Structure 1
Amino acid sequence: MKISVERSQLMTPLQVAHAVVERRQTLPILANVLIRADADGFRLSATDLEVELLIPGKLEKCLAEGATTLPARKLLDLCRATPEGTLLTIETNGERASVRAGRARFSLSTLPAAEFPGIDVKGDELPLVLSQRDLRRAIETTYFAMAQQDVRYYLNGMLLEIEGGKVRFVATDGHRMAVTDLAVEVPPDASRRIIVPRKTVVETLRILNDVDTPATLSIGRDHLILSAADVVFKSKVIDGTFPDYERVIPRNQDKTIDIDRLAFREALGRVAIFANEKYRSVRLKLEPNLLRLSANNAENEEGEEELEIEYSGGELEIGFNVSYLIDVLGALRSDAVCLQLADSGSSCLLTEPGGGPSRYVIMPMRL
């Protein structure tokens, strides 16, 4: 293989692919990226055996077609250290590859392209065509509630449920939950239910852009394929049973208040300065036409703030993790947020006033 490529044409896909490359690899080849080149350009691949990313790129010249694998980190660092606009010439010779950049020359080790692993996918896929903006927005409003390194491995991901002409995104860490619905054109009887790994969710956000250009999400029984702007992303799914999230959603809450979302978020941010660093608890006290926010810490420091609201029900005092509340308020885009409460021992339901595509459940903390 011998190719000439402009520095930015190689660096851009490398930056995307590098996040997929396994840092603590069990196989040396997983630290490499696969480059296949022909007259139409090049295609770069990276995998950690759980996810696989394929990105196309343009060449200045393809002097000799072929394929090889190169160290992802070294190649990316070399591109970053090369002046903008530099033309790179990459040529393989046996187990080595030479990279020329102007008057500079570098030698990299290679591994055979034939040994580069990929993710095998089987048929029976359900394709969903969505705008990149809508899909990105649905994930952004949900993914922050996923668990991280939980022993309940099925919580370290996001549930995708297709049923009734919509795709539902659900994430929970056992203390909070986010649910977002997105309408989609599928056959009425079509259904799927898979758990997408955390890494896949995060990488999907990196691939999707805030544009109306369509993306195709193909959902199989044991895999997921995202195709967007010529980029193809394959992923295995988590083999497990997601909790019955419908049972967690509170119903018949008798205390409902609408609050200005930004004012509420800013007030929580100020009060949170004085919250216990470990537990991050904040106290909400509901009174007629008034919401009191307060927090204190082990140094006997305290923060308190009041917000005027329209409320005529009974008094209620309840505690929450302030970070969970702020996450929800950051995910919503509406001017106001609706809080539905019952008592100090019941979860809180947060939505847009009048409903909306997203619902959030936060469990209370003991005061």
Structure 2
Amino acid sequence: MRATIERATLLKSLSHVQSVVERRNTIPILSNVLIEASENGQIKLTATDLDLQIVETFAADVETAGATTVSAHTLFEIVRKLPEGSQVQLHAADSRMAVNAGRARFSLSTLPRDDFPIIAEGDLPTSFELPAASLIQIIDKTRFAISTEETRYYLNGIFLHVAEDDAPVLKAAATDGHRLARVTLPRPDGADGMPDVIIPRKCIGEIRKLLDEAGEANIQVDLSASKIRFTFDNAILTSKLIDGTFPDYSRVIPTGNDKLLRIDPKAFSQGVDRVATIATEKTRAVKMALDNDKITLSVTSPENGTATEEVPGEYKNDSFEIGFNARYLMEILGEVEGDLVELHLADGSAPTLIRENDKSSALYVLMPMRV
């Protein structure tokens, strides 16, 4: 194999594929990226961790077609440190690959392409398109609530499913047991009858990186009960799905919370952040005392002392106190785009419903803390 590629093109593709490759591998070839150069002037890079696979294609000057595998992180670091605008020459032969650019010369060891594992997709019967903006919305408004507890593996991703509300919809939800985030979008054509799926956290992270460069494009989504594939302009991401049952989260969304607080999310979040400065990691709880149009935030820390701040808000119900985890509350408020957020409360021990208004596509549920 012999090919010449512009550094910027190679670096961009390598940055995508190398982040799929795990740093520590017991199987040496999983540290490598598969590089395939074809006679029609295309280079295809493939990387996998056996659960997630990315394939990226771009144009190059191919002198001799061929394929090899080489350390993904090493090649990425080499190309990253090469001068801008340089032309990178790749030449693979006899279990070595030469990487040359300007006066720089590298010789890397390779492993045979026949040993490289490819994820067998099988049949993916459900197929639909989503605008990049919709996929960004699904990910950004839910992924902070994904659980990191490996024992509850079925919560380690975003749950995607269809439902029949007033109209056919596609819903995405994530929860860690302390908070729940859900986004509802109109159901795309082709998603009818789609199986309920849980997309793993790592796959979500890789899609999000690719979406930053997708612009206004539509992303093709193909899935079965066990695999999902996202097709971008020049990249294809295939992932195994989490084999588990997501809990019936609709049961924890409160419907009878009759105490309504309307407040500016930015001012509220900044107030929470300020009083939480003295909170220790163990006592991340911020107490919120609600009175007639008066909201008082307070934190008491045995080590550091106390902090209080009044924040303006609209509240007309009975006065009571409730405590929240400061970080969880701020993460939810950070996803609210408007100038007002609604908190639907019941009492100090019941879950609170948070949303922009009754027409917003996203809603959040936050469990209170004892303070």
Q: Please indicate, yes or no, whether the TM-score normalized by the shorter chain is above 0.5.
A: yes
Aligned residue pairs, count: 366
Q: Contact 2:36 / 2:45 at 8 angstroms: preserved in 1?
A: yes
- Listed as ranges, the matches of 1:253-268 within 5 Å are 253-268=257-272
Counterpart secondary structure, 2:150: coil
Distance apart, 1:356 and its partner CA: 1.1
- Listed as ranges, the matches of 1:7-46 within 5 Å are 7-38=7-38, 39-46=40-47
* Aligned residue identity for 1:5: I
Partner of residue 158, structure 1? 158
1:186 equivalenced with 2:189 (yes/no):
yes
- Listed as ranges, the matches of 1:154-233 within 5 Å are 154-164=154-164, 165-186=168-189, 189-209=192-212, 211-233=215-237
The worse-fitting range, judged by mean Cα deviation, of 287-296 and 96-105 is 96-105
Q: Contact 1:131 / 1:215 at 8 angstroms: preserved in 2?
A: yes
Counterpart secondary structure, 1:151: helix
Q: How large is the RMSD of aligned CA atoms in angstroms?
A: 1.4
Separation in structure 2 between the aligned mates of residue 104 and residue 307 of structure 1, nearest angstrom: 60
* Aligned residue identity for 2:107: S
Cα deviation, 1:319-339, whole Å, max 9, x if unaligned, reads 110101100011121211100
Separation in structure 2 between the aligned mates of residue 251 and residue 276 of structure 1, nearest angstrom: 33
- Listed as ranges, the matches of 1:42-57 within 5 Å are 42-57=43-58
* Aligned residue identity for 2:340: A
Counterpart secondary structure, 2:209: helix
Q: Contact 1:131 / 1:211 at 8 angstroms: preserved in 2?
A: no
TM-score normalised by the chain length of structure 1:
0.96
Q: Contact 2:127 / 2:190 at 8 angstroms: preserved in 1?
A: no
Q: Contact 2:169 / 2:184 at 8 angstroms: preserved in 1?
A: yes
* Aligned residue identity for 2:46: S
Counterpart secondary structure, 2:205: helix
* Aligned residue identity for 2:48: T
The worse-fitting range, judged by mean Cα deviation, of 244-253 and 155-164 is 155-164
Partner of residue 110, structure 1? 110
Q: Contact 1:288 / 1:313 at 8 angstroms: preserved in 2?
A: yes
Separation in structure 1 between the aligned mates of residue 17 and residue 188 of structure 2, nearest angstrom: 31
The worse-fitting range, judged by mean Cα deviation, of 29-38 and 121-130 is 121-130
Cα deviation, 1:4-55, whole Å, max 9, x if unaligned, reads 1111111111011111002121210010001111223201111000000011
**What stretches of structure 1 of length at least 5 have no aligned partner?**
none
Distance apart, 1:110 and its partner CA: 0.5
Cα deviation, 1:162-216, whole Å, max 9, x if unaligned, reads 2333221110111111011121323585232011111011111111136321111
Distance change >3 Å, CA 206–CA 163, structure 1 → 2: same
Q: Contact 1:339 / 1:349 at 8 angstroms: preserved in 2?
A: yes
Distance change >3 Å, CA 188–CA 119, structure 1 → 2: closer
How many percent of aligned residue pairs carry the same amino acid? Answer: 38
Separation in structure 1 between the aligned mates of residue 205 and residue 322 of structure 2, nearest angstrom: 33
Distance apart, 1:309 and its partner CA: 2.2
The worse-fitting range, judged by mean Cα deviation, of 10-19 and 267-276 is 267-276
